[in-house]
Amino acid sequence: MTPERPRGGGASQTPVEPDKGSRVAESSPPQKPGQGTLYAALDLGTNSCRMLIAQPKGSQFTVVDSFSKTVQLGIGLEASGRLSRASMGRTVQALRICQKKIERHGVNRMRLVATEACRRARNARDFIRQVKRETGLALEIISPEEEARLAVISCAPLVNERTEQLLVVDIGGGSTELVWIDLSGVVPENRPRAIMSLHTGFNAQPEGGARVVDWISVPLGVATLRDQFGDVDDDAARFALMSWFFEEQLASFSPYNAQHPREGFQIIGTSGTVTTVAASYLGLRRYDRTKVDGLQMTSDQIDFVIRDYLALGPEGRRTDPRIGRDRHALIMSGAAILQALMRIWPTDRLSVADRGLREGLLYAQMTVDGVLTEGPFT
């Protein structure tokens, strides 16, 4: 698998064009958005379908409704290159629920995106048309750069004022995005907001603003990496192979070989893997976002949790309430990615983000519409 790289020395990536008429913005009513406007953001990934409906509130937003369902859209994709009929059926059922929520709330503005599974599948266009026909929802297949950019925007509230070098990592079901950002030229108190200036693209780097040094999209996420090593029976050996294999994919990422001081460096991880590891460390038998989002974990704490997962074995992980039924089969491939990242970057701390593509979609839409007020991110 070849990671997606910026072309021409910059951080631009040719987007994957959706079918004509499939951009949801065209179906939004032509009215001027305001603080009372409702926004929807839907993220259809390789493993899950997630949606948020939110309303602007000050410099943030308030979640009105949400939806999350494991659909395993990408199951079998590695072998066949196609989305299976069963996975498409499960996904359409989930999307029908999303459509009903959007309709019930009278959502005014929305963006509904699909990522790696639909980027790779030969029959993705047929699936997009099926979704439109059966649910009325217009999905947009976004490029790896767009996915990475939205993940970065979602993490803006967690950027420390002391941060000069930032690495944002988004571990998905089918791919993992990494973005390296130089904030050293930004006034400290403006650093979180400087991240929001990237809503127009990685090339929009005004003087004195956030500068994207490099970014990469590795076509390995928790589902695709697991499938690569499904024939390895030994649990510990499979984990080690997954971790080293993922690290090999980062060789062309320029900051990988650079020497950066630990001072002023921050890594933010956003994914179900990262939040599950955090919840396990905290011993949460019932997930609590307020305790997880923004949590700082050391490399030793992360390694302790991963060693515990390995000691549990597949059966123990399956019944561990901290991991959950939807995550147990994917947690070790995600942990392998996380361990590889913590092994090679110049820091022993990770900021945990319970936020991602959906939040990035909401921030981007609201920023463009001008409905977020000036003020600190919290």
Please give the C-alpha separations between residue 87 and each of 48, 213, 228, 256, 357, in angstroms, as whole numbers: 11, 38, 19, 36, 22
CA-based max dimension of the chain = 58
> Is the pLDDT at 374 greater than 70, yes or no?
no
Top-confidence residue, 367 or 198 = 367
Judge whether residue 59 has pLDDT over 90: no
Residue 368 confidence class, pLDDT cut points 50, 70, 90: confident
Given a cut of 80, is residue 34 above it in pLDDT?
no
pLDDT value at position 230? 87
Q: Which residue carries 């967690």 as its tokens?
A: 158
pLDDT for 375 equals 54
Q: Which of 231, 74, 65, 60 is nearest to 156 (CA)?
A: 60
Mean per-residue pLDDT for 234-249? 96
The predicted structure's pLDDT at residue 205: 58
For residue 373, the model assigns a pLDDT of: 78
pLDDT of 186 higher than 60: yes
pLDDT at 275 over 80: yes
SS3 content of the chain, % helix, strand, coil (to 5): 45, 20, 40
Q: How confident is the model at residue 36 (pLDDT cuts 50, 70, 90)?
A: confident
Residues 81-138: tens digit of each pLDDT = 999 999 999 999 999 999 999 999 999 899 999 999 999 999 999 999 999 999 999 9
Distance CA 215, CA 253 (A): 7
The DSSP 8-state label assigned to residue 212 in this structure reads E
Query: What stretches of the chain adopt beta strand conformation (E)?
Result: 39-44, 48-57, 60-70, 109-114, 140-141, 165-171, 176-182, 211-218, 265-270, 296-298, 349-353
For the whole model, what pTM was predicted? 0.85
DSSP 24: G
Angle (CA) 285-60-170 rounded to 5° is: 55
**Which of 9-23, 130-144, 200-214, 295-309 comes out lowest in average pLDDT?**
9-23
148-167 pLDDT, tens per residue? 999 999 998 899 988 999 99
- The contacts of residue 284 (CB under 8 Å, 6+ apart) are 291, 292, 322
Supply the DSSP symbol for 7: B
Interval 314-343: pLDDT, tens: 999 999 998 988 789 999 999 999 999 988
- Taking residues 352-372, report their average pLDDT: 92
> Would you say residue 300 has pLDDT above 90?
yes
Q: What pLDDT was estimated at residue 5?
A: 60
All domains of the chain, ordered by start, with CATH?
24-146+358-369 (3.30.420.40), 155-356 (3.30.420.150)
Q: Residue 258: pLDDT band by 50, 70, 90 thresholds?
A: low
**More confident: 155 or 374:** 155
Collect all residues with Cβ–Cβ distance below 8 Å to 221 and sequence separation of at least 6: 45, 46, 47, 116, 171, 172, 173, 174, 175, 176, 333, 337
- Tell me the per-residue pLDDT of 189-218, one tens digit each, with 9 for 90 and over: 888 888 877 766 676 555 567 888 899 999
